[in-house]
Amino acid sequence: MPKSFRDPLVKAMRRACDDMLRFSGEPAKRLNAEYLFTVAVAKELDKLNGYYGDPYRIYLEKKTRDFARDCLYPVKFGNALQGESIRHRTGAPKLSRNGRIDVAVYEDVPNNGYLGHQPICAIELKGFNPARALVLEDLRRNLEYFSVKGNTGGSVLGTALFGALHSWSKVGTQSDEEARAEQLRRKYIRWLSELPETPNVRRTVSVHQIRQDLVGEFVDEGDCQVLDVDTIHSFVGIVVEFCADAI
């Protein structure tokens, strides 16, 4: 079973929003720099390490061409008794869109035939309320890593994650916000239906409450307290996880 990094990703969402509060002093202020989210994810993943880069090597802004190539075995040893020769990885698989991965995680997985550290997770991140087209671009490319092939075989990638934050201009009751969260989950499921079928890759969509204030904060104004409605907010995070059934 491939490792899941969903929990650290959700913790990073909360950490990034808390950082924005510390920086601005405004509870309802959204992240204004996506890289804060990226760094928060990397730091949460690093908490899983016992020592520097061990067991997980974490890369920020990894080139997609390099990552896709790394998804293939560097060397494939043939059966000498059957006259099969050693095959070496050549070139890089083609993707629908080149660029950089927000966070890439590598590990030296024992006894699987891969020489060295291999990619085990690709993570793409978006700030608040990303457009459908941008979400689909990231999701499509995340799926492609599982289907890359080369002369040394197929992909070794175990999982890929997409994370984004969402909020609304007006906040309702607790039940209203729960209903919105479910609507958001269903929207992402509809978007996923626009992507190619991948029978060997499981797709999971989950919504997580990140930070919420449905009433507002009371602040001292001389001899009285005044309700500050500018602090009202509801931040939720969406996580789309792709997981290979078999490696």
Task: Give pairs for 47-54: CB < 8 Å, separation 24+.
Answer: 47/8, 48/8
> Per-residue pLDDT for 213 more than 60?
yes
Q: How far apart are CA 24 and CA 96, in angstroms?
A: 39
> Per-residue pLDDT for 18 more than 80?
yes
> Percentage of residues in the chain with pLDDT exceeding 90?
71
Q: What is the pLDDT of residues 223-247, one digit of tens each?
A: 776 767 788 899 999 999 999 986 5
Q: What is the pLDDT of residues 163-208, one digit of tens each?
A: 999 999 889 889 999 999 999 999 999 999 999 998 899 999 999 9
Q: What is the pLDDT of residues 77-128, one digit of tens each?
A: 766 555 566 777 887 888 999 999 999 999 999 888 888 999 999 999 999 9
Q: What is the distance between the terminal CA atoms of the chain, rounded to a whole angstrom?
A: 9
CB atoms within 10 A of CB 96: 10
